[in-house]
Amino acid sequence: MKKGIGQEFMEKTKYKYLEESDQRKEVKNPPLQTAFDKKKKLIDLPAPDKIDVPSWDLRKAIEDRVSVRKYSTEALTLNELAWLLWATQGIKEISEIYTKRIVPSAGARHAFETYLLINNVEGLKPGIYRYLALEHKLVEIDLSEDIGDRVIEGAYGQKMVKAGAVTFIWVAIPYRIAWRYGQRSYRYLHLDIGHVAQNLYLAVENINSGCCAIAAFYDEQMNDVLSLDGEEQFVIYMASMGKKIE
C-alpha cells in the first residue's frame, strides 16, 4: 500500500513525538461543555431516572445489531429521544475538570457535543437542536425550512438523514482532550466517538428502531450547516435513526 497522510498521522502521534501537555503546564482546563446562546429556547427532557423504555437482553441487542437505512413514518417520542441521548452521552458524575458518562472516553475528557436533525419527534418542530448534557436539555439551533435538505447535501446526498426520525451529528471539540494528551488526542477522538456510536446502535434496539452510522460527508459543508470553524469544532461522525418498518 502506498504511504500517505494516514501513515504520517500514525507516526507523528506516537508518544516519542509528544510535547508536554497543557495540563502538565498547569494551564486551566477547557470548559466541560461548549457555551450556548441562552436566549434560545430550551426543551426539558424526561429525567434519566424517569425514562421509561422496555428492558432488553444485551446479548439479543448485540446479535441483532445491524445498520438500518430505511425507516417507517412513525414518530419518536420525547421519552425515546431522551433515552438515546442518555445512552450515548448521559452524565453520571461531574467534577471541576471531567465528567463521567455512560460511554468511556480517554481521561474522561468527552470531547463531543451532540447536535440533532429532528425530523419526526412528537412535540418538537423539525430542525437542528443541540443536546446539553450537563443540563440534560435540548436547545433550539436552527429551525429553517431548508435545514434538512442542507444536511442531505452535506451528508453526500444520503436522503436517509431526513427520512428517519432523527439524525445524530456529533461534533468534536479537540482541545478538550488535547489539553491532556496533546496531538495524540486526535487518535482518541476517533476511538471515543466509536464508543458513542456503538451505544446508539444498541440503545435503538429496545425502542423498535434502527440506525446507520455515517462517515461519508463533506466536512466543510457539514461544518457550515452548524456554523463551526472546522478546527476548534468540527463534525466528526453522524448517524441516522428511526422506527423499524414492520
Q: Kindly state the cell numbers that stand for 117.
A: 436533525
Instruction: Indicate whether 137 belongs to any domain.
Output: yes
Average of per-residue pLDDT across 113-141: 98
Instruction: Indicate whether 32 belongs to any domain.
Output: no
Mean pLDDT (the chain, rounded): 97
Report how far residue 198's alpha carbon sits from residue 213's, in angstroms, rounded to the nearest whole number: 9
Report how far residue 204's alpha carbon sits from residue 67's, in angstroms, rounded to the nearest whole number: 11
Instruction: Indicate whether 13 belongs to any domain.
Output: no
Tell the burial category of 37 from Cβ atoms under 10 Å away from its Cβ (0-12, 13-18, 19+). Answer: exposed
For residues 44 and 80, is the Cβ–Cβ distance under 8 A? no
Which domain CATH number covers 68? 3.40.109.10
Q: What is the DSSP letter of 39?
A: T
Instruction: Indicate whether 91 belongs to any domain.
Output: yes
Number of domains within the chain = 1
Q: Kindly state the cell numbers that stand for 77.
A: 417520542
pLDDT confidence bin for 173, thresholds 50/70/90: very high
Instruction: Indicate whether 92 belongs to any domain.
Output: yes
Instruction: Indicate whether 87 belongs to any domain.
Output: yes
**Domain carrying residue 164:** 63-243
Consecutive H or E run containing 79? helix 78-89
- pLDDT for 132-156, tens place per residue? 999 999 999 999 999 999 999 999 9
Share of the chain above pLDDT 70, in %: 100
Is residue 3 scored above 90 in pLDDT? no
Instruction: Indicate whether 205 belongs to any domain.
Output: yes
Own/partner contacts of 124-133, CB < 8 Å, gap of 24 or more, are 124/43, 124/78, 128/169, 128/225, 128/226, 129/43, 130/36, 131/85, 131/89, 132/33, 132/36, 132/42, 133/33, 133/85, 133/89, 133/90, 133/91, 133/99, 133/101
pLDDT confidence bin for 2, thresholds 50/70/90: confident
Beta partners for residue 129, in sequence order: 116, 140
Instruction: Indicate whether 50 belongs to any domain.
Output: no
pTM to 2 decimal places: 0.97
Radius of gyration of the CA atoms of the chain, in A: 18
